[in-house]
Structure 1
Amino acid sequence: MQGVATRIKRATITALIGGCLVLANTSVAEPYTPKSDDEVVAKWKVLDDSPNIKSDQISLTQISDFIEQGQYPGEADYRYGRAKAWLQAKMNNTSPDAQTLYLYARVLQHQHQFDKAIKVLQRAISLDPSAINSWLLKANIHLVQGDIISAREACLALIGKASILLISACALEVSAQNGKLAESYQELARLYTVYSPTNEQEKQWISQILADMALRQAQADNALVHLQQIELNVAPVSLLALWADVQMSLNQYEQVIDKIGDIVNRHPVKDDALLLRLAKAEKQLNTNLEWQTLFAQRVELREQRQDSLHASELAQYYLYVDVQPIKALYWAKINWRVAKQINDRLLLENARSLLKSSQQDKETA
């Protein structure tokens, strides 16, 4: 595949416990207003099975389970939005405890309100300093923001609170983002073998981190080995996107179309990250336009809404599917304003390189 910048930020700490802000009016596209009341801009299935549930009638355990399902295909927008409303109502009615604050921070993190999420997590940790999930989420958010020191400190705060494997996975993921990818991968692979996690959620999380590290080193075969025990039909979006990237790096575009396409088609709401992979695979096969057309419609909608939350996907679309260097660089810059991991930097560099190459071609034409 063309490079690690094309991949979603997926091997993150939030994969165990459950990344761009909507900026000012600076989009390439003007704000869009439907021309009539009959115009359909987008279709969404109403997934609400319990529209009359009040915040004081739902427990934190139920909200936590509800949020947990948001990581799976077709569920994110609906579930995180509803959970946010429930949590805000609870916090307005009573002084929030550590778990309420942690769950609220998860919602904010999903919506890329990173600074606000950190402040909420600091309150949660002050109430319960031993809360493993709060420290893990804090580490992840700092990592996405490119704050390596704070991310490492959050991982080390887990000493005495979590297992050696969990602490090491947290710290080594940070180290891998700080110029020690090969060493971090080797050490985490060794620890995974030594400690053999029995918790299925922890096992999936570490396998995902290992696969991401391997792919970033152009070791797609090793990445596939780390993912081979994952049941794709019940996997979260981030892991499905990673699996698709691994397959495409091995030129297995048909497998991406078949497997990811089947999963996406089961859900009325389509995730941008998966539609992007399908469009990229289809572009490489050059046999159909189904997924490219569908994602082009999604891109148009995102631009009309000035939706910078999906800036990374938009930049990748204009880099690798509908190649438009100016737009690719525009969205890569918006993504970089908030997300500053290695993949984000490479996405920005690739967009700049594409624009420069395009300008040189015009000068020599």
Structure 2
Amino acid sequence: MWFCLIALLLYSGTVGAAPYVPENDAIVLERLPEQADPSLKTLKRMRAALRVNPSNLDVAVPVAKRAIEAARATGDPRFLGQAQAALAPWWTTIDPPVPALLLRATLKQSQHDFVGAIADLDRLIATAPAGAQARLTRATVLAVTGQYDKARRDCASLTTLASPLVVAACDAAPASLSGDAESAYHNLTQSLERPGEAPSLREWGETLAAEIAARRGDAIGAETHFRAAFALDPGDAYLRAAYADFLLDQGRSRDALPLVRDGTKNDSLLLRLALAEQELPDERAAFDRHRSELAARFEAARARGDSLHQREEARFRLAIENDARAALALARENWKVQREPADLRVLREAAHAAGDAAMIRMVDNWMATNRLHDVAFSSAREAKR
């Protein structure tokens, strides 16, 4: 959800996988779906203009912003590659212009280079303490890495710099993961009732509210928020995956199918599709195809040194391949990098399946220390007794 947040705010002016950056524009990997989306046609035209003068910051920054938005909307990492390519003249410089530095930090976050992202953001905030975007992005990285108190401090600093919904949503994510889920949900839903926010921000807020409600065990509330978000943007890849996860947890595999069936180019959506098909006897042939496709994609990612799909692959190895040891190894490595509820959940489930009592204790201690409550963990424990 955090990358979604950053891309939305960057693109409105107020947030995967490692991007592959081709050596030159003559290299064609696959045609992107410009014909189906006018905004992608615009991006293509903007990139053509940038090629004429690749060091023009005033052209490069809008290209990178729009590519990041396309990555958020589609879940396609190739757009992140386009964003990084647009920033190539400033990618390794020590002191790039502020707009390039902010976008570079955002892309580093998407690549799980959290140390590099924090370094860039610290520099930005020292230079311009009133910059809302830099503080929001740093809050993002801090929350993803489990540093909830620091994240909340950055969110609190946004009170006079951003809209009430942005402030409430920024705080709701770390607050809901560190013992304050009830108040976080209340503040967020109150902010969502206020008129005047952009539809993209409302969609983000509704999705976040849905996830918090689901962790609290409020299935009716979660569904209400998911539906509200879906009405605002039915094509959002993150939203579709999150909504599908909720339905899968509710035992509603058939209801999850329409959310993900046309998203098979997106690894996360393909995984949810296979998980749903696995539970439906009449979808067995499709499941077998998609299982093989996922295995091939994860193998290809390893071959090119891409470790950013570890959480998804761990879930695949555990829930589809029934390989608890492989799943645990992946989940353990993933946990070293990012610490969101989904990371914790796959780690605990893999540890349980592999019989690793020490890892189970570590997860339980983490949850107790951070006062994280998620009914999905309780449900999983009951199901496996």
Band the TM-score falls in, shorter-chain normalisation: 0.7 to 0.9
Matches within 5 A, 1:177-192: 177-192=177-192
CA distance in 2, matches of 1:93, 1:147: 28
Cα pair distance change 1:250/1:201, threshold 3 Å: same
Contact 1:60/1:100 (8 A) holds in 2? yes
Equivalent position of 2:240 in the other structure: 240
Amino acid at match of 1:108: K
**Post-superposition offset of 1:178:** 0.6
Cα pair distance change 1:255/1:94, threshold 3 Å: same
Amino acid at match of 1:280: L
**Post-superposition offset of 1:87:** 1.3
Cα pair distance change 1:307/1:65, threshold 3 Å: closer
**Post-superposition offset of 1:164:** 2.9
Equivalent position of 1:220 in the other structure: 219
Equivalent position of 2:311 in the other structure: 312
CA distance in 2, matches of 1:192, 1:70: 25
**Post-superposition offset of 1:183:** 3.2
Superposed CA deviations along residues 327-351 of structure 1, whole A, max 9, x for unmatched, are 1100100110011223322221111
1:14 counterpart (6, 27, 31): 6
Equivalent position of 2:272 in the other structure: 277
TM-score if structure 2 supplies the norm length?
0.75
Equivalent position of 1:200 in the other structure: 199
Task: State the identity %.
Answer: 26
Amino acid at match of 1:63: A
Equivalent position of 1:292 in the other structure: 291
**Post-superposition offset of 1:118:** 0.9
Equivalent position of 1:155 in the other structure: 155
Amino acid at match of 2:140: N
Equivalent position of 1:70 in the other structure: 71
RMSD of aligned C-alpha atoms?
Answer: 2.9
Equivalent position of 2:97 in the other structure: 97
CA distance in 2, matches of 1:53, 1:66: 18
Contact 2:4/2:72 (8 A) holds in 1? no
Equivalent position of 1:125 in the other structure: 125
Q: Which has the higher contact order (CA 8 A, sep 6+)?
A: 1
CA distance in 2, matches of 1:310, 1:156: 32
Equivalent position of 2:250 in the other structure: 250
**Post-superposition offset of 1:72:** 2.4
**Post-superposition offset of 1:90:** 3.8
CA distance in 2, matches of 1:70, 1:312: 19
CA distance in 1, matches of 2:119, 2:104: 11
CA distance in 1, matches of 2:216, 2:147: 22
Superposed CA deviations along residues 260-291 of structure 1, whole A, max 9, x for unmatched, are 112x25xxxx2221111011111111332232
Partner SS, residue 228 of structure 1: helix
TM-score if structure 1 supplies the norm length?
0.79
CA distance in 2, matches of 1:182, 1:143: 18
CA distance in 1, matches of 2:92, 2:333: 33
**Post-superposition offset of 1:197:** 4.7
Between the two proteins, the alignment pairs up a number of residues equal to 323
Amino acid at match of 2:257: I
Partner SS, residue 55 of structure 1: coil
Contact 1:20/1:338 (8 A) holds in 2? no
Cα pair distance change 1:198/1:56, threshold 3 Å: same
Contact 1:11/1:209 (8 A) holds in 2? no
Contact 1:311/1:335 (8 A) holds in 2? yes
Cα pair distance change 1:213/1:85, threshold 3 Å: same
Superposed CA deviations along residues 306-334 of structure 1, whole A, max 9, x for unmatched, are 43211000111112111101011001001
Amino acid at match of 1:271: N
Contact 2:105/2:120 (8 A) holds in 1? yes
Superposed CA deviations along residues 342-361 of structure 1, whole A, max 9, x for unmatched, are 33222211111010189xxx
Unaligned segments of structure 1, at least 5 residues = 1-8, 22-42, 359-365
